[in-house]
Amino acid sequence: MKGLITLSVIAALSSSVLAEDTTQAQIDALTKEIQKLKKDQTNTKKSLSAVKKATGGDNIKFGVDFRNAVDVIEYKNNETGETATNDSLLTSRLYLDMAAAPMNNLIFKGRLAIYSTWGSHLYVTDGPLKDWSASSKAADTVMRVKEAYFVYKNKLGAQPITFSIGRRPSTNGFLANYRENEQTSGSPLAHITNMEVNGAMVKLDWSRFVDGAYTKFVYGRAHSGEMEGVYGDDSAARFPYADLDTVKEDESVDFFVMPGDAYNNGQYQVAYQWAHIFDTKGENISTAQTAVAAGSADLFSLALKVDGIGDEINDFLDSTTVFISGAYTNYISDDGYSILGKEGGSVHGSSIWVGAIIPDGITDSGKFGFEYNHGSKFWTPMTWAEDTAIGSKVAVRGDAYEAYWNFNLFGVEYLPSQIRYTYAQHDYTPNINCAGWEEPVATDITAQDIRLAVSYKY
């Protein structure tokens, strides 16, 4: 009996030893596998570091904004009875967005654009398009640079400062973003400036003194004056890009703009802007030549926007936005020249713009928008890039009414869509091209546009 017990103990101990040996073998195998994984991870990190080093850490991210729209438009001259219509203006607009942050405090952003009518020519053949409106007007299938700029942020002592240069994000600015179904707005106040511009900007942040306050100082060029011999096909080819004109006619048009917020706490926002235009266009009285440098212009705007009515009264008012904006333009012509029909003096205009954006009560995030604009006889803002088939309703000399529904198609956030109706009553010559050499005269022209647009944004 004792022998059996002894044998049993020996067998048990042997089994235990064998089990321990097996467990140790498994542990050793797992340890080797972990070490191999760590080695592979280290190699992967080295490879990624090599790639990052080769690219300077500058990785560009891309985004897409693709919109298709149909507009039904109608014009009527109520004095003559003349009408003009288009029951199916079909357009496609493609934005290719770029963004990069190669180092701390420095970012680059860009946007390439194609904005074409269906069945359009490869490129416009009936005249050149200006770079401050070419990618904002439905025309041909050429891809153009709409935005390309960098922004550098830092501090001078306790003062935050931002510097930027390039083609600025200056379309669909403050207040216009709602009618364009954009979540965020561009830089300037769209009431007086809605056009693509090239410029240098310095921004000073005052928020340590007043909530959300800041001022931007922007200097740029909207038109380059006549330069000789650029293509080497005339007698001045030996002086490429030299401005050889001695007559004050085709001068470069520069501008200085000061946009900013006087106060912004997230609910209440007070925004302002002053713009000065050098050598703005008008008419030479003695030669009757138009579109020549004729004087200067000053434009002012002040706006109040309220996001959310009251303080948590109800969900509807919390999600309601209202705004009001007033603007003023003053054009001053030089002696011997006229602007807006005024020779050697100043002529001013004014405008008011009000709007309300409310929940649609149908979809989760959809909004109804209602806007009204009124402009006086000489009201003349810089709004060539306003995306309305019948021309800038913000620039109307008369009254304009607009209603729109912004919603996500099928409830998909990547498919923002819009149904919009715009009606304009022109009491004076329509201000479509900001033609300073044309004197506004009394008229009775109406224009209306029904638009259905569907976008894909990602």
Per-residue pLDDT reduced to its tens digit, 349-400 = 999 999 999 999 999 999 999 999 999 999 999 998 888 999 999 999 999 9
Domain with residue 231: its CATH number is: 2.40.160.10
Domain boundary (12, 36, 57) is at 57
Q: Residue 135: its pLDDT value, please?
A: 83
Residue 54 binned pLDDT confidence (cut-offs 50, 70, 90): very low
217-240 mean pLDDT: 72
Residue 4 binned pLDDT confidence (cut-offs 50, 70, 90): very low
Query: And the tokens for 96?
Result: 């290719």
The model's pTM is: 0.84
Q: Residue 51: its pLDDT value, please?
A: 47
Domain boundary (57, 83, 98) is at 57
Q: Residue 46: its pLDDT value, please?
A: 56
Residue 245 binned pLDDT confidence (cut-offs 50, 70, 90): low
177-194 mean pLDDT: 92
Domain boundary (35, 57, 79) is at 57
Q: Which CB contacts under 8 angstroms, 24+ apart, belong to 3-9?
A: none
Residues 89 and 25 in one domain: no
Q: Residue 45: its pLDDT value, please?
A: 61
Q: In angstroms, rounded to a whole number, what is the distance separating the alpha carbons of residues 139 and 108?
A: 28
The pLDDT of residue 178 is above 80? yes
Residue 36 binned pLDDT confidence (cut-offs 50, 70, 90): low
Lowest mean pLDDT among 19-23, 204-208, 255-259: 19-23
The pLDDT of residue 10 is above 50? no
Residues 1 and 94 in one domain: no
Q: In angstroms, rounded to a whole number, what is the distance separating the alpha carbons of residues 452 and 435?
A: 30
Query: And the tokens for 229?
Result: 């011999």
Number of domains in the chain: 2
- pLDDT tens-digit series, residues 281-315: 889 998 888 888 899 999 999 999 999 998 888 98
| CA 80 to the chain's CA centroid | 39
Residue 210: φ, ψ to 5° = -135, 135
Closest CA to 329 of 281, 283, 387, 275: 275
- 64 conformational bin, left if phi > 0, alpha if psi -120 to 50, beta if neither: beta
Residue 251 binned pLDDT confidence (cut-offs 50, 70, 90): confident
The pLDDT of residue 18 is above 50? no
Residues 336 and 385 in one domain: yes
- pLDDT tens-digit series, residues 123-140: 776 665 677 777 888 888
The pLDDT of residue 271 is above 80? yes
Q: Are 303 and 191 in contact (CB under 8 A)?
A: yes
| CA 346 to the chain's CA centroid | 32
Q: Are 411 and 373 in contact (CB under 8 A)?
A: no
The pLDDT of residue 40 is above 70? no
Please give the C-alpha separations between residue 391 and each of 9, 102, 136, 427, in angstroms, as whole numbers.
101, 40, 12, 15
Lowest mean pLDDT among 6-10, 35-39, 59-63: 6-10
Closest CA to 356 of 329, 394, 316, 407: 316
Residues 25 and 73 in one domain: no
Structural domain for 34, as ranges:
1-57
Q: Residue 240: its pLDDT value, please?
A: 73
Residues 10 and 123 in one domain: no
- pLDDT tens-digit series, residues 413-458: 999 999 999 999 999 999 877 777 889 999 999 999 999 999 999 9
Residues 166 and 47 in one domain: no
In three-state form (DSSP H/G/I as H, E/B as E, the rest C), the secondary structure along the chain is CHHHHHHHHHHHHHHHHHHHHHHHHHHHHHHHHHHHHHHHHHHHHHHHHHHHHHHCCCCCEEEEEEEEEEEEEEEEECCCCCEEEEEEEEEEEEEEEEEEEEECCEEEEEEEEEEEECCCCCCCCCCCCCCCCHHHCCECCCCEEEEEEEEEEEEECCEEEEEEEEECCCCCCECHHHHCCCCCCCCCECCCECCCCEEEEEEEECCCCCCCCEEEEEEEEEECCCCECCCCCCCCCCCCCECCCCCCCCCCEEEEEEEEEEEECCCEEEEEEEEEEEEEEEEECCCCCEEEEEEEEEEEEEEEEEECCCCCCCHHHHCCEEEEEEEEEEEEECCCEEECCEECCEEEEEEEEEEEEEECCCCCCCEEEEEEEEECCCCCCECCCCCCCCCCCCCCCEEEEEEEEEEEHHHCCCCEEEEEEEEEEEEECCCCCCCCCCCCCEEEEEEEEEEEEEEEEC
CA angle 222, 224, 226 (to 5 degrees): 150
Query: And the tokens for 399?
Result: 């009254």
Q: Percent of the chain at pLDDT above 70?
A: 83
Please give the C-alpha separations between residue 35 and each of 15, 42, 98, 132, in angstroms, as whole numbers.
30, 10, 41, 60
Residues 23 and 111 in one domain: no
Of 118 and 15, the structure prediction assigns the larger pLDDT to: 118
Closest CA to 401 of 422, 420, 429: 422
Residues 135 and 205 in one domain: yes
Closest CA to 398 of 352, 348, 457, 331: 352
Instruction: Work out the mean pLDDT of the chain and round it to a whole number.
Output: 86
Of 104 and 421, the structure prediction assigns the larger pLDDT to: 421
Residues 192 and 249 in one domain: yes
Q: Which residue has the tokens 């011999």?
A: 229
Q: Which amino acid is at 292?
A: V
Residues 267 and 413 in one domain: yes
Residues 50 and 71 in one domain: no
106: CB partners within 8 A, 6+ apart = 150, 151, 152, 153
Residues 48 and 106 in one domain: no
> Across the strands, what pairs with 153?
162
